[in-house]
Structure 1
Amino acid sequence: MALTYKSRRRWALLLLLIGLPLYIVASVTIMNWLGRPPIWVEFAVYVALGILWALPFKAIFKGVGQADPDAPQDPQ
């Protein structure tokens, strides 16, 4: 079932306002469990986790910043 433009915008907002901060807290907690790795390992882990969180939600974020394709067009 495909999501409408309006529902994708709502899900994207929910993910950015609630899901992303929770993911950041989880990522920092995981890094604290590892102790103090070398700075390049820490950087690589943060970059990987930063990219990894968005991959499952790619379909939700796609086209959200564009105009609503389902909205009626104004004849000019």
Structure 2
Amino acid sequence: MSMSYKSRKRWSLVILLIGLPIYIVAAISLVAMLDRPNILVELLIYVGLGLLWALPFKAVFKGVGKPDPEEDEAE
């Protein structure tokens, strides 16, 4: 079952406003537990974690910035 445009838009806001800050704090805490590694290693960790958080939510964010497709069908 696919989500409607409105529900995807709402979930994307929840993910960005609540989930992403929590994930950022967790990523910073993870790097802090590693006793501040080399700057390149730290950069790779942040880039990897930055890509990793978005993969599960790809379907939620897909098409959210476009006009509502259901609205076009109603007209």
Q: TM-score range by the shorter chain?
A: over 0.9
**TM norm structure 2:** 0.94
**TM norm structure 1:** 0.93
Q: 1:36-57: per-residue Cα shift (whole Å, max 9, x none)? A: 2110000000000001000000
Unaligned segments of structure 1, at least 5 residues: none
Q: 1:3-41: per-residue Cα shift (whole Å, max 9, x none)? A: 000000000000000000000000000000000211000
Unaligned segments of structure 2, at least 5 residues: none
**Greater relative contact order (CA < 8 Å, ≥ 6 in sequence):** 1
- Flag the structure with higher helix content: 2
| Superposition CA RMSD, Å | 1.5
Percent identity, aligned pairs only, is 57
